[in-house]
Structure 1
Amino acid sequence: MVSSTHWLASQCAMAVLEDGGNAFDAAVAAGFVLHVVEPHLNGPAGEVPMVLAPAGGRPTVLCGQGPAPAGATVDHYTGLGLELVPGTGPLAAAVPGAFDAWMLLLRDHGTRRLREVLRYAIHYAKSGHPAVERIGATVESVRELFEREWTSSAELYLPGGRAPRGGELLRNPALAATWRRVIAEAEAVGTDRESQIEAARRVWRSGFVAEALVEAAGRPTMDTSGERHTGTLTGDDLASFRAGYEEPVTADWNGWTVCKAGPWSQGPALLQQLALLPDGFGTGDTAYGSAGYVHTLVEGTKLAMADREAWYGDAAEVPVKALLSADYNAARRSLIGERASLELRPGSPDGRPPRLPVHVRQPAVRPSAVDGVDAFDPLGTLPAGAGEPTVAHDGLTRGDTCHLDVVDRWGNLVSATPSGGWLQSNPVVPELGFPLGTRLQMAWLEPGLPNSLTPGRRPRTTLTPSLALRDGEPVLAFGTPGGDQQDQWSLHFFLAVALRPSVRGGLDLQGAIDAPNWHTDAFPSSFFPRGIRPGSLVVEDRIGGEVAAELRARGHDVTLADPWSEGRLCAVARDPRTGVLSAAANPRGAQGYAVGR
């Protein structure tokens, strides 16, 4: 079974499975297809965290998030007169992590050769794929920037001066040529599968790909500061990076164990949200779908995300054990009252005082600066290309990132969230067919914070795939695009599965995805220019007028969004008792796709 945010990626992964490949082979093939068919949402020079459970093995995290380059110091950026890392341009580029992570997954857990998994992406890049409408809308939103400054991007995405229309074939011959050259150089080392994969990794980090990326980083480029800057990425940064494995952070809830990436992601925030739930949640005044249910979840989200702002990152020790402890969360739970909180209230795990960035303590609140809505902002207040494209506070889907989940007949499970390096992040590198990413915008230009910009350390990302076990057995892989919304939408999905489990004897994955969803922006956005909307709550209007009215009466600033606008969830599952597989995909936007046999 496969579920992803684009039908072609799902179908290509299914082709790999039908040809005898396993879930990890299929995930790699799908990941590279997503780079082609959702270029406004991810790219090869972006990042990808994964959570995987090999059949019969323990769940593990594969980190494809690159660190800050050696020259990316706070002093360097503030010396340029910057208060925030720009939302676009090479100054915002971390060391690319996605390619090496996919190669590591293929080498260690896959069975197929590099040529076999890349052929699908090469085909669609060379021969073309039907562009989704959002690609053209994204290009139109940055047309002026492309035509005036990022001319290499205009050549690819504005051929003849016109953005791609929905359904038109969109080609990227330079990207196809890049992958063909990588394969040729990898196969030149011999016939051994693993040796070829290792050779491809070397081509990326020290061969022609690395040379082109470094040259691009050194080119003065207009960014969201309104100035042209060069980046800090060097050949040494690329040559030294290796994707790697980590133990997941886990939490138990009602017989389930949920596995997430560490606090260099926002993953533990979902675990905190579960830990904050009161006994008997989902019954009585907090019955599923009621105003009490939504209110409790939203207020818990605010507390967990406040802790994310104060404690999460890769530049300092994070007290994860204390943040997830029963005593700490019991104390935090007592802060949830009958009315919506308008404050940002981080806690003090182990008695340590929280420290928020100055930008958060004295925020320049902008009503439309929600989660990096970049050039799609309806009021036009955000710089073109800024941030991670996601869902606006009016609930309209503007685009976001990507996600895919795969389970195979042997019981291998993988959940991956590719992102970054989207077409509006940096100019296209002409000889490669893709741009650098912008993940450093998530780090603070203030020393001494867990998420301070620090050479060799990862910016704290929002990317947060999920894997869940039931009674110790891997059962469920799920996730969603959506920046800061990811662990809000994922929480609602997981609880819908856990609290309403049965459909013909299995998990009701589709019902959980389809259920009316919500999000709040009542904490600082992770993306430039880091806006915040205290008390905000966006709900799909399918939630019902009575529930919405009660939420307003509790003090929430409720926005009724379009009926199918919140979330882009994917999910696959395996019942270990019967071996039955299931999958579901998001109907919102008519782009996600689940397939299996």
Structure 2
Amino acid sequence: MNAGRPELTGTFGAVSSTHWLPAAAAMAVLEKGGNAFDAAASAGFVLQVVEPHFNGLGGDVPIVSYSAATNSVQVVCGQGPTPQAATIDHIRSLGLNEIPGSGLLPAVVPGAFGAWMRLLSEHGTLPLADILDHAIGYAENGFPLLAGTADAIEVLAPLFMTEWVESGRVYLPDGRPPAVGSRFRNPVLADTYKRLLREAAAVAGGREAQIAAAERAFYQGFVAEAIDTFVSTTEVLDSTGRRNKGLLTGQDMSNWHAPVERSVQLQYGDYAVHKPGPWSQSPVFLQQLALLDGFDLRGMGLNSADYIHTVAECAKLAFADREAWYGDPDHSDIPMDVLLSPGYSAERRRLVEAKAAEALRPGSPSGRRPFVPEQVADAPVPTDSHWMSQIHNGLPTVVKATAARNDTCTIVVADRFGNMVAAVPSGGWLKSSPVIPGLGLSLGTRAQTMTLTEGHPNSFGPGRRPRTTLSPSLVLKHGKPALAFGTPGGDRQDQWTLGFFLAVAEFGLDLQSATETLAFHTDHFAASFTPHESRPKVLVVERDCDPDVIEELRSRGHEVELVPELSLGKVCAVGVNQDRDLLQAAASPRGRQPYAMCR
């Protein structure tokens, strides 16, 4: 299969993103003399403007990066925690079995702004005004509206007109849904960015002092005050069919500062693969690699029945462990070292059989008993309103009759100085909760991924990071940066990017060809988003798969579900060809929207 896109190579900089405008902004920042950290942050803020159905200023972002100056990899955790008032008893007292996927109840501290500020303060070089310039320009002067954004606004327009009226002011110019491709503006959001800059410029000191001032303005100043006032005084209609107040306060925001952590890593052949910790689903990528390391994938052949079956069965085992063991390590004992150990991986590998597994089978690291909470969904509210059925599902975009849900955003950057950054922003999308008056942003709803069962690493509780699906990847080869990549896709991110990585590491494909190879995934485990559905034995495969392979997979017990070609994922990647001393960039043709640049 040849989708017609070349791999891009160069010497100055490499950028790839799920939208062409953030990619262009990142390259512009590199051209201005900034580094990969500056460029990634600038693109991250543009993504908040031009993909509001996927992310926003009130959302989250994990960032994994390599610094040439320190020769080290670090993770900035932009996943904000739950409020201090977040208790299981409170949610149960409302008569609920799960945390709603929309409204104010599932809101957490917005982590994206703090994460980008932390990255910039430690590794950036340009003034904050240069970083926010592109986002302000698009919010103030407009940008072409994507079809996905327009679809979401049209479906939700009745909700915005009658209940979430501030969202209506932002997203229904002239009182009606904007057209696909029309020039859309968010002047209120532009004013928020500009006020953050004004308060930053008012302090004495240099670049770092201004970044710190902008962070204070967000988490302790006017942004936190507006959020506190709205959440504490407003009952919001949500997916329960009732109006509920939220739990987030200005004090919750003031107490938080984006932490910097060591990555979790695994050696796979010549590659050292680095991921965020188990407060995200990221380590399932490493667990899959640890399992697959015992199979002859090259001998099977790329996209053969043996290959797809083996990869899918290992995904089932890794994600079963996610369900049992992952959560905030600050509040739970997560046996990550054991889960990635050779002995444990060998034990689990023996569970892969010729037939598709039917049961969810989490492991017992060090003999510990696994615990997977039962998902008890609240019944959908009886309604004739299409928008109500949509907000009952916690996914970012309007849910259509397809398995190809490419939600969330990605930005990856490599620069001429040897730095590399991968980030997967999400949360705070327009479907999540009402726009906060005066700010032009919505709060995220990541707490919906948590369980109301006590004693689990991902149990709902005060000050805990919900287990996020967001999962950027960074890979070193011989101790130097080799790859950075990510994709939208919720729970499926670490299956679609795994296929990309194996195509490069095992089969020698160039980056662009690897983004275009056949994609597939299993939905064997419970989804992170409400209503937490699972589809045991279902294997979703793009329909350009060899028909003989499909028939063989079905004979092995997989319930194969075919979806359109080039519909699963939007992998974005940058890399370094160490032999040729060249930068590389690639973007999946899926969705016709991801864009890579290299010079």
TM-score by length of 2: 0.94
Letter in 2 for 1:8: L
**Equivalent residue number for residue 123 of structure 1:** 137
Secondary structure of 1:276's counterpart equals helix
Matching of residue 334 in structure 1 with residue 350 in structure 2: yes
> Out of 302, 311, 319, which is 1:297 matched to?
311
Q: Whole-Å Cα distance in 2 between the matches of residues 392 and 271 of structure 1? A: 30
**Equivalences for 1:497-516 in 2 at 5 Å?**
497-501=504-508, 508-516=510-518
Aligned Cα RMSD in Å? 1.9
Q: Could you say which residue in structure 2 is the equivalent of 1:319? A: 335
Equivalent residues in 2 for 1:314-463, closer than 5 Å: 314=328, 315-359=331-375, 382-384=389-391, 386-389=393-396, 395=402, 397-463=404-470
Distance 1:258 1:106, change over 3 A: same
Partner residue of 2:45 out of 1, 19, 32:
32
Contact 1:389 1:399 in 2 (8 A): no
Assess if the C-alpha contact under 8 Å between 1:142 and 1:385 holds in 2.
Answer: no
User: Where do residues 488-567 of structure 1 align in structure 2 (5 Å cutoff)?
Assistant: 488-501=495-508, 508-567=510-569
**Cα distance, 1:358 vs structure 2:** 2.5
- Give yes or no for contact 1:391–1:482 (8 Å, CA) kept in 2: no
Structure 2 partner of 1:475: 482
CA distance in 2, matches of 1:337, 1:392: 34
Residue type of the alignment partner of 1:103: M
Equivalent residue number for residue 6 of structure 1: 19
Q: Which moved more, 1:325-334 or 1:392-401?
A: 392-401
Q: Residue 4 of structure 2 aligns with which residue?
A: none
Higher RCO, 1 vs 2 (CA within 8 Å, ≥6 residues apart) = 2
Q: Does 1:264 align with 2:302?
A: no
Corresponding residue for residue 570 of structure 1: 572
Contact kept in structure 2, 1:178 and 1:432, CA below 8 Å: yes
C-alpha spacing 1:319/1:32, structure 2 compared with 1 (3 Å): same
Secondary structure at 1:72 match in 2: coil
DSSP 3-state at the match of 1:543: coil
Q: Letter of the aligned partner of 2:475 in structure 1?
A: A
Equivalent residue for 2:58, pick from 30, 45, 50:
45
Q: Return closer, same or farther for 1:390/1:128 CA change in 2, 3 Å cut-off.
A: closer
SS of the residue 1:445 aligns to = coil
Q: Deviations over 1:242-270 (max 9, x none)?
A: 00110110111111111000000001100
| 568-577 or 115-124, which deviates more | 568-577
Q: 1-side partners of 2:87 and 2:146: how far apart?
A: 39
**2:210 alignment counterpart:** 196
Distance 1:145 1:423 in 2: 12
CA distance in 2, matches of 1:96, 1:233: 10
Q: Distance in 2 between matches of 1:416 and 1:28?
A: 9
CA distance in structure 2 between the partners assigned to 1:333 and 1:324 by the alignment: 12
| Residues 60 and 80 in structure 2, CA contact (< 8 A), matched pair in contact too | yes
Do the aligned residues in 1 keep the contact of 2:298 with 2:507 (CA within 8 Å)?
Answer: no
Partner of 1:8, secondary structure, is helix
Aligned residues: 578
**SS at 1:317's partner residue?**
coil
Give the deviation of 1:279 after TM superposition: 3.2
Distance 1:398 1:155, change over 3 A: farther
Specify the SS of the correspondent of 1:552.
helix
State the 1:364 CA deviation.
6.2
How much has 1:496 moved relative to structure 2? 0.5
SS in 1 for 2:105: helix
Q: One-letter code of the match for 2:591?
A: G
Partner of 1:100: 114
Q: Which moved more, 1:269-278 or 1:39-48?
A: 269-278
Q: What is the rounded CA distance, in whole Å, between the counterparts of 1:412 and 1:238 in structure 2?
A: 31
Q: How far 1:396 sits from its partner (Å)?
A: 5.5
SS of the residue aligned with 1:559? strand
The SS at the match of 1:283 is: helix
**SS at 1:262 equivalent:** coil
The one-letter code sitting in structure 2 at the alignment partner of 1:317 is D
Which 5+ residue runs of structure 2 have no aligned equivalent? 1-13
Q: For residues 18-76 of structure 1, give each alpha carbon's deviation from its aligned partner in whole angstroms, at most 9, with x where no partner exists.
A: 11110000011000000000000000111000100011511111111111110011111
Is it true that 1:64 corresponds to 2:46 in the alignment?
no
1:575 CA drift (Å): 2.6
> 2:302 maps to which residue?
288
Unaligned runs of 5+ in 1: 503-507
State the partner residue of 2:6.
none
Of residues 116-125 and 213-222 in structure 1, the stretch that sits farther from structure 2 once superposed is: 213-222
Q: Could you tell me which amino acid in structure 2 is paired with residue 25 of structure 1? A: D
Aligned to 1:505: none
Taking the aligned partners of 1:295 and 1:397, their CA distance within structure 2 comes to: 20
The AA in structure 2 aligned to 1:529 is: P
Which amino acid in structure 2 is aligned with residue 18 of structure 1?
E
1:356 is displaced (CA, Å) by: 1.1
